[in-house]
Amino acid sequence: MYESEFPLHDSIIYLNHAAVSPWPQRTATAVKRFADENVAFGSKNYPTWNATESRLKQQLQQLLNAASSDEIALLKNTSEALSVVAYGLPWESGDNVVITSQEFPSNRVVWESLQKYGVATRAADINDCDSPETAILDCLDERTRLLSVSAVQYGSGLKLDLAVLGAACRERGILFCVDAIQSLGAMRFDVQACQADFVMADAHKWMLGPEGIAVFYCRHAVMDQLELKQYGWHMLEDPHNFDNRDWEIAASARRFECGSPNMTGVHALHASMTLILETGMQTIEQRVLENSRFMIDFFSQRPDRFQLVTPTAEHRHAGIVTFRPVQEPPESLFEMLGREQVICALRGGGIRFSPHFYTPRKRLFTALELLDG
Ligand SMILES: Cc1ncc(COP(=O)(O)O)c(C=O)c1O
C-alpha cells in the first residue's frame, strides 16, 4: 500500500526507525527539486522557501497540538534543544533535576553537566517497577526545578504516561521537559493535554526526515524563563531590517534560531510531514501498535527462547520492541540478522526491532521467521 513511498531495496528488511529512518520517496524528490532549483536559480525564490519553512512549523504545531506555531523553533537536533533549556534556566545551587534511569545520554549528560552550578541530577529507577510514574514522582521534592523524561525509552521501549507526570509538575510549579524523539511521528502527541513546557525531537527517526533538523516546542508562558545564549540576525523581531540598531528579540520561538535556517532540512522534513499528516496520526499509531503487538505475541509464545525487554501492555509501549535471546548472547543473533540484511539495533541489553507504520507485515514475519531458525 505504501510501497511507492518506500521503495526500499528488496534485499533488506528495515526494522530500525528508532535509529535513523529511510526517507519517503517524496522527501527525496523534494530535496532533488530543491537542489536543482539552487543550481539553476540560486536563492531567487527565497520567499517561497520561507513560506515552506512557515508551513513546516504549522505542520509541527498540528503534530504536537501546540496552541500556536509561534511556540515552535527549528533547531539542529534533540541535544541542542535540551541544551537550550538546560543552559537557559536560571539555576540556584541546591536545585535538582529529575530524569529516569533509562534515558539516552542526550537527556542525561546535559543535566549532569549542571553540577558545576550546584545542580543535582536524580535518576528515578524505573527498571522493573509497576508504576514508573510513581517512581518518578517520588523523586520530586521542593528543590526540583525540572523533570525531563523521554516519552518512550530508546532501549526498553517503555512508554510513560506523560499526562500524569505533566499534571503533577504543573501542580507543584516544576517545569516539564519531554524528549519526544522516540514518539513523535509514531504515536499521537498533545503538548497541551500532557502540560509539557518543553518538547524536542530530531526528524530522522519516526518523523521520517533527515538528520540535522529538529523541532523544539516551548510553551509561550515559560519562554521568557529561558535566557538566550546564542545571538544573531534571524532571532530578532524584525530580522530583515538590517540597519535597525534598536533591535528586539523575537516574541516567538524564532528567538531560539540565531542565524540562517537549514533550508535543505526544511524542504525534506516538510515533505515527510505531508506524508505523516495525510496518512493521519491515528492510522499511523494504530499500525505501529499492531506491528508491536505482532512482535510481542511472537516473543511471548517462545518464553524458552526469548525474553521481552519491552513491556507487553499496550499503553506501556510504542513502536520499539526489544528482546533478549535466552540461550545465546544477543550479539551473535544480531550478527546473524545483519548477515540476513535485517536492519535493527543492539540496545537495552537486547535486540531492538522498530518497524514503522508502512512496514509490510510479510517483511516483519520474514525477520521473525529467521529467529525461529
Ligand atoms: C531518546 C533519545 N534522545 C535523543 C537521541 C539523539 O538525539 P539527537 O541526535 O537528535 O541529539 C536519541 C537517539 O537515539 C534518542 O533515542
CA distance 306 to 304: 6
DSSP 3-state of 253: helix
**Following DSSP, what letter does each residue of 56-70 receive, concatenated?**
HHHHHHHHHT-S-GG
Residue 90 confidence (pLDDT): 97
Rounded average pLDDT over 183-192: 98
Q: Is 214 in the pocket of ligand 1 (CB under 6 A)?
A: yes
Q: Is 202 in the pocket of ligand 1 (CB under 6 A)?
A: yes
Q: Confidence band (pLDDT; 50, 70, 90) for 2?
A: confident
Q: Is 154 in the pocket of ligand 1 (CB under 6 A)?
A: yes
**Residue with CA at minimum distance from ligand 1 atom 13:** 19
Residue 373 confidence (pLDDT): 76
**Helix, strand, coil shares, percent, the chain, to 5:** 40, 15, 40
- DSSP class of 220: G
Residue 92, pLDDT > 90, answer yes
Closest ligand 1 atom to 201 CA:
10
Residue 344, pLDDT > 90, answer yes
Give the pTM: 0.97
Polymer length in residues for the chain: 373
Residue 144 confidence (pLDDT): 98
Residue 297 confidence (pLDDT): 98
Contact, 63 vs 184, CB < 8 A?
Answer: yes
Q: Confidence band (pLDDT; 50, 70, 90) for 293?
A: very high
Phi, psi of 58 (to 5 degrees): -70, -40
Output the CA angle 74-63-164, nearest 5 degrees.
105
The residue to mutate among 154, 158, 187, having the most atoms of ligand 1 within 8 angstroms of its beta carbon, is 154
Q: Is 106 in the pocket of ligand 1 (CB under 6 A)?
A: yes
